[in-house]
Chains A and B, each alone.
Chain A
């Protein structure tokens, strides 16, 4: 069990140990979907949502696996259950709210096998959070991811207007910006600890 306060957990997950800029989780969507601000915001929302769902799943699975004494099944069951739950939720949203589905739709299946989602499930298990703590942790991680993605998209939209040498075009440029963003986020170190 872990007795961190909820506020500490939230700050820690969103700013101090930002999933993208400090833990390097979810780099693929961070590099891929950060070209436009509008897409980045929607992607962030979808990630927050999937993180909450998978956090709930991971909490349940962990307790089930402890009960039947089979910790070696952790990884396999996490990934399968999270993927299929997200799929179920996706169908549910499609039925209930087509508008929301159109907003999140294309991102949901992509996110499922994103390392940030599985990373979140593994970290919360390692840290021994209870249900409320896990959900707050997921919310923090999701908002931290959204923040990083939106910042990045904002900078990249501005950069469209700049003249950049041919050699630096593409991923190299994005990584440079990410490095500087990550430096900026280091300023938060010590805030929540």
Chain B
């Protein structure tokens, strides 16, 4: 293999990894872009609900990204948003029935929020901003990355809320019986507080990085 091809191949691999990593961390849909807030707050009162919601959203995100990207040359520009919503709604219906078949309890716990994946701005956002302009394989990677980032964020919230509000994680008790759970963390207001605290942490990291970059630039010239 000539050197130039080898370099190009390596660049492709890096680009593919980057497509995945950016959703997980640098452009994390919840902590950085603050998209799709409704399910983030509503279903994260336990880690298991958060995980299920994250996986369901990832499933819809990957499949809708795939289909939108595959059809991107056939969808007229004027009706593209309506088409995207139709595609997303179809996959959400699939996921709704799928969860009902796997676990009825889970379906009851998540309630209408499975159907509400349709209006999660994250999914429509990725279809419009990424999948409608990129190849199928890159769109799948983007969907996987964004989905993983979303699931990660949901787990951060759901885990914290379950540990504090119920003294357990994934249903296993962590503390002795004398532990007094903070009921408020399970309640709606706990969702707002926990998300606010996570955003604070990310803001702090961002400010510190900017300050460091500022210092480096001051030193270099």
Task: Annotate A17-44 by CB proximity to B: 1 below 8 A, 0 otherwise.
Answer: 0000111111110010000000000000
Cβ 8 A contact of A113, one of B41, B115, B124, B192: B124
Q: How far is the CA of A119 from the CA of B117 in the complex (A)?
A: 11
In the complex, what distance in Å separates the CA atom of A130 from the CA atom of B124? 32
Q: Separation in Å of the B153 CB from the closest CB of chain A?
A: 13
Closest-by-CB residue of A relative to B43 is: A24
Asked if B118 and A79 make an inter-chain contact with CB atoms under 8 angstroms apart, the answer reads: yes
Q: How far is the CA of A186 from the CA of B190 in the complex (A)?
A: 12
Residues of A within 8 A of B217 (CB): none
Task: Assess whether B199 is interfacial by the CB under 8 Å rule.
Answer: yes
A6 at the interface (CB under 8 A from B): no
Q: Is the CB of A28 within 8 A of B38?
A: yes
CB distance from A192 to the nearest CB of B (A): 16
A172 near B192 with CB under 8 A, answer: no
Per-residue contact bits, chain A 82-114, to B (CB 8 Å; 1 contact, 0 not): 010000000000000000000000000000011
**Majority secondary structure of chain A interface residues (helix, strand, loop or mixed):** helix
Q: Does B41 contact A27, Cβ atoms closer than 8 Å?
A: yes
Contact present for A186 and B189 (CB under 8 Å): yes
**Which residues does chain A contribute within 8 Å of B190, judged by CB atoms?**
179
**A-contacting residues, B166-203, CB 8 Å:** 184, 187-193, 195-197, 199-200, 203
Distance between B69 CB and nearest chain A CB, rounded to angstroms: 21
- B89 at interface, CB cutoff 8 A: yes
Interface residues of B in 29-68 (CB under 8 A from A): 34, 37-38, 41-42
State whether the Cβ of A115 lies closer than 8 Å to any Cβ in chain B: yes
- 5 cross-chain CB contacts under 8 A: A21-B189, A27-B37, A28-B38, A122-B116, A172-B197
Q: Which 10 pairs from chain A and chain B are nearest by CB?
A: A179-B192, A175-B196, A182-B189, A27-B37, A172-B199, A24-B42, A24-B41, A115-B119, A179-B193, A76-B89
